[in-house]
Chain A
Amino acid sequence: DAGVIQSPRHEVTEMGQEVTLRCKPISGHNSLFWYRQTMMRGLELLIYFNNNVPIDDSGMPEDRFSAKMPNASFSTLKIQPSEPRDSAVYFCASSLWGEESPLHFGNGTRLTVT
């Protein structure tokens, strides 16, 4: 079991550029989550998919953020255009079924927007 795989591990970009973060969940897990972690706000849920369908995207900050899950083994989080306040560590997590079962986190993507 390779665990949840995220790429890239680090991303440095200039304000206004498009950023795409990628995630491969654990095979057999039905749910996928995107979280953002900062010192100020802690861990925030951005969006949650169940069987590839977005269930709750109320945490997505604004229209600049979008997420897709075209199949059970791949998801992307896109920020366009990026802003310095988007700088954070973005985590992808998967679980067997929803938030009730334990979440398995990837090692995150550290995004820096200058």
Chain B
Amino acid sequence: SQQGEEDPQALSIQEGENATMNCSYKTSINNLQWYRQNSGRGLVHLILIRSNEREKHSGRLRVTLDTSKKSSSLLITASRAADTASYFCAAYGNNRLAFGKGNQVVVIP
């Protein structure tokens, strides 16, 4: 079964720096979704990239998808303290959505 899996597991950066997270999956997908979870809250959908897309932007977020390597990356530019959260990728394929274990990002003011 496919599994979204993020790398690195934890990231600590200074405010203003960029944060990059990677996600790998095992089988073919229809789309890949990224979510953010603030402490004590539910997951919030950030961006969805389809299997025929290579790059997508939303505000300070940039997502890339490389289906040949079965991987995706999420870039947060000019990070802010409010970006401190856990970030999850979720790979959708074969009628299943598989979440990774999450990637903790701490942005230091």
Question: Chain A: residues with CB nearer than 8 A to chain B?
Answer: 4, 42-43, 45, 91, 93, 98-100, 102-108
Also in contact, A42 and B101, with CB within 8 A (given A4-B42, A105-B42): yes
Per-residue interface assignment for chain B, residues 65 to 107, with 1 indicating a CB less than 8 Å from any chain A CB and 0 otherwise = 0000000000000000000000010001001110111100000
Also in contact, A100 and B92, with CB within 8 A (given A42-B101, A42-B102, A43-B99): yes
| Smallest CB gap from A106: residue in B | B42
CB pair A42–B99 under 8 Å, yes or no, is: yes
B20 contacts partner chain A, Cβ-Cβ < 8 Å: no
Interface size range of chain B in the complex = 20 to 34
| Smallest CB gap from A103: residue in B | B45
B64 contacts partner chain A, Cβ-Cβ < 8 Å: no
Bound Cα distance from A92 to B43, whole angstroms: 10
Main secondary structure of the interface of A (DSSP, over half): loop
Set A42, A99, A102, A108: member contacting B42, Cβ < 8 A: A108
B14 contacts partner chain A, Cβ-Cβ < 8 Å: no
CB pair B45–A91 under 8 Å, yes or no, is: no
What residues on B are CB-neighbors of A98 within 8 Å? 95
What residues on A are CB-neighbors of B45 within 8 Å? 102-104
Q: Closest CB-CB distance, B85 to chain A, in whole Å?
A: 13
Bound Cα distance from A45 to B1, whole angstroms: 14
Q: Closest CB-CB distance, B38 to chain A, in whole Å?
A: 10
Apart from the given pairs A93-B43, A98-B95, A106-B42, 18 other A-B contacts in the complex at a CB distance below 8 Å: A4-B42, A42-B99, A42-B101, A42-B102, A43-B99, A43-B102, A91-B42, A93-B42, A99-B92, A99-B95, A99-B96, A100-B97, A102-B48, A103-B35, A104-B45, A107-B42, A108-B41, A108-B42
